[in-house]
Chains A and B, each alone.
Chain A
Amino acid sequence: MTGQTPRLSGNGMTLAYDKRVIAEELSVEIPDGSFTVIIGPNACGKSTLLRALSRLLKPSTGAVLLDGRDVHSQPTRTVAKTIGLLPQSSTAPDGITVAELVARGRYPHQSILRRWSAEDERVVTESMEATGVADLADRHVDELSGGQRQRVWLAMALAQQTPLLLLDEPTTYLDIAHQIEVLDLCAELHERQGRTLVAVLHDLNHAARYASHLIAMKSGRVARCGQPGDVLTAELVEEVFGLPCRVIDDPETGTPLVVPAARRLATSPQQV
């Protein structure tokens, strides 16, 4: 890995579903070893950007470059060994157990001739331990709680052993405690395993707390990117989300904390 050109980037991309253009001339760089978080209002194209980076959506112009080459010109399996993805919604097949599901993360490393190895065994065990689901190995996925299930999916993505991991709103449908649990886990994976993480998050304060690199998007373009402390200002939130707010220091971590302005700050608080 070189310091200058990152492994994953998008250059001059036009992203569109059929004729509906989501973004034009969009360029992003994902710094190696970063925990990059993409934020932005609904329909700003952040999930679309993630789909493009993970090769699910082919840019109609421009390209996603992985290690300097167009991601769409590389074999599916090769890419799957480099970029992992936790989609917004995945279906756990009926009757599948946790160990079986996590083991499926080894698919890109297997072939007709090489179905299961000691390496697969070790990686799957470690992935389950890293996400704290080893004790659930024999349980059926459909009988787990939402938080547990998300950890299982994360374990599957880990078992894929990709240096880059993309997460599309990994905390949706989870309560606040499980949201923090999953994000803490992501931060731990980022720090301990040195993986590059890219996540789409809705919650600005979570983004500010966990990201090492922040990309703020508005209507299909990058409004600002950089360190959370530099990006997440009251002006930016106002500009991108149209939300008047104050940004203070998070008393826990010192990272920016967005406090939305009260609706009728100037008028009497009694009036409801």
Chain B
Amino acid sequence: MTAVLEKRTARPIGRKAGVRPRAVVVGLIAVLGTFVVSVFSLGTGDFDIAPADVVTTLFGEGNPAHEFIIGELRLPRLITAIAVGAALAAGGAVFQSLVRNPLGSPDMLGVTNGASTAALTVIILGGTSTQLSIAAVLGGLGATLLIQLIAGRALHGFRFILVGIGMAAILTGISGYLLTRGVQMENARALLWLTGSLDGRDWGQAKPMLVVLAIVVPVLLLACGPGLKILEMGDDSASALGVPVPLLRNGALLSAALLVSFAAASAGPVNFVALIAPHLAKRLTRAPGPNLLPSIAVGTLLLTGADFAAQHLLQERTLPVGVVTGLVGGGYLVWLLTTERRAGRI
């Protein structure tokens, strides 16, 4: 038997059971990091602006030239990046928590594929970017509902994952078919969209995303957050503790699908953020539960950082942000699998 821990802290349980200090620190560091990246991102480009000037401009005290460059040209893209990062991370955290599997992210389970296939259809048919966005949102939600329907009422993590993977495969097939049907110009647009990019995003893309975030995230945090924590202990335990399990599941799933679909509509299917951000947040905070707020903070840092790198990594040309998140996310996943394997955990 292990020795009984002698130390008995006087710290009240309420504090222990509530938010862990470590989670707060992780969240704050990520927010601070996002801010620093943002300042550099706003200040770098064809016309460089010093960080101090960026900050004064952000507080409305800059000169008109700076205000135009930052406010009209660079800020919408940055805000879109932050919003997309937050939405993907929150959506991913909810999915991983619901299916009780750290790999159960919406881009593995067909939700993002639903958005992609619908968007591709619009591109091949030569639709406008507004139609594309609407199609992406509907496609993502549609795929989620279909998976939910097929997986059945007694939604168990494993079954949902299997149906989701099947759905993702079918939709990838359909997307491939659509690409073979398109002519060259449409295909170029389609491929760029499929990689996930923030190029040329203006307030038109940023605003709907912000509205959705402002509505869905508080709902997730306040109405679903505590219940999701309990649900991690199993359906029976959660039910016995008074969690309305089916209602919570469906509500959280719909909210997460909404976030992910809108993110795809704004930036395309940016890979791996929904998978990595919650995972990274959990690893850093070491806290149980879906870790919604830390995940969101890490997600914004990931996406703004990736977009900054995408814009400035190569001298001669910019990359789509999806390329960077794919490389970083895929790399992280491989690293994780090898270390976990070495540690004997998988």
Once the chains bind, are B16 and A97 in contact (CB under 8 Å)? yes
Q: Which of A171-206 contact B (CB under 8 A)?
A: none
Q: A77 to chain B: which residues have CB within 8 Å?
A: 242
Q: Is B343 an interface residue (CB 8 A)?
A: no
**A50-88 interface mask toward B, CB cutoff 8 Å, 1 = contact, 0 = none?**
000011100000000000000000001101110111010
Q: A90 to chain B: which residues have CB within 8 Å?
A: 233-234, 236-237
With contact pairs A90-B233, A93-B232 given, residues A105 and B241 touching in the complex (Cβ less than 8 Å): yes
Once the chains bind, are A138 and B241 in contact (CB under 8 Å)? no
Once the chains bind, are A121 and B13 in contact (CB under 8 Å)? yes
Q: Is A137 an interface residue (CB 8 A)?
A: yes
Q: Which residue of B lies closest to A92 (CB)?
A: B233
Q: Which of B1-19 contact A (CB under 8 A)?
A: 1-2, 4-9, 12-14, 16-18
**A100-123 interface mask toward B, CB cutoff 8 Å, 1 = contact, 0 = none?**
101111011010100110001100
Once the chains bind, are A91 and B232 in contact (CB under 8 Å)? yes
Q: Which residue of B lies closest to A125 (CB)?
A: B13
Q: Is B200 an interface residue (CB 8 A)?
A: no
Q: Is A136 an interface residue (CB 8 A)?
A: yes
With contact pairs A91-B233, A95-B287, A135-B4 given, residues A85 and B16 touching in the complex (Cβ less than 8 Å): no
Our pick among A80, A97, A134 for the contact of B242 (Cβ within 8 Å) is A80
Q: A124 to chain B: which residues have CB within 8 Å?
A: 13, 17
Most chain B CB atoms below 10 A, which of A102, A125, A138: A138
Q: Is A149 an interface residue (CB 8 A)?
A: no
Q: Which residue of A lies closest to B289 (CB)?
A: A93
Q: Is A4 an interface residue (CB 8 A)?
A: no
A160 to B230, CA, bound (A): 13
Q: Is B288 an interface residue (CB 8 A)?
A: yes
A136 to B16, CA, bound (A): 13
Contact segment of B27-35, B48-56, B182-190, B221-229: B221-229
Our pick among B8, B230, B282, B288 for the contact of A135 (Cβ within 8 Å) is B8
Q: Is B126 an interface residue (CB 8 A)?
A: no
With contact pairs A110-B226, A135-B5 given, residues A87 and B240 touching in the complex (Cβ less than 8 Å): yes
A100 to B7, CA, bound (A): 17
Our pick among A87, A100, A108 for the contact of B16 (Cβ within 8 Å) is A100
Interface extent on B, as a size class? 35 or more
**A214-252 interface mask toward B, CB cutoff 8 Å, 1 = contact, 0 = none?**
000000000000000000000000000000000000000
A159 to B100, CA, bound (A): 25
Q: Is B131 an interface residue (CB 8 A)?
A: no
Our pick among A81, A87, A94, A137 for the contact of B13 (Cβ within 8 Å) is A137
Q: Is B134 an interface residue (CB 8 A)?
A: no
B129 to chain A, nearest CB (A): 39
Q: Is A89 an interface residue (CB 8 A)?
A: yes
Q: Which residue of B lies closest to A77 (CB)?
A: B242
Q: B232 to chain A: which residues have CB within 8 Å?
A: 91, 93
B104 to chain A, nearest CB (A): 14
Q: Is A23 an interface residue (CB 8 A)?
A: no
Q: Which residue of A lies closest to B227 (CB)?
A: A107
A102 to B223, CA, bound (A): 21
Q: Is B309 an interface residue (CB 8 A)?
A: no
With contact pairs A80-B240, A107-B226, A145-B1 given, residues A120 and B234 touching in the complex (Cβ less than 8 Å): no
B40 to chain A, nearest CB (A): 34
B215 to chain A, nearest CB (A): 16
Our pick among B5, B14, B230, B287 for the contact of A104 (Cβ within 8 Å) is B230
With contact pairs A56-B240, A80-B241, A139-B5 given, residues A121 and B12 touching in the complex (Cβ less than 8 Å): yes
Q: Which residue of B lies closest to A123 (CB)?
A: B13
A-B contact pairs, 12 of them (CB 8 A): A56-B236, A85-B240, A91-B233, A93-B233, A100-B16, A105-B241, A108-B241, A112-B223, A116-B17, A116-B18, A120-B13, A124-B13
Besides A56-B240, A103-B13, A137-B8, 15 more A-B contacts (Cβ < 8 Å) are A76-B244, A80-B240, A80-B242, A84-B240, A95-B288, A100-B17, A104-B233, A107-B230, A116-B17, A121-B14, A124-B17, A136-B4, A138-B9, A138-B16, A145-B1
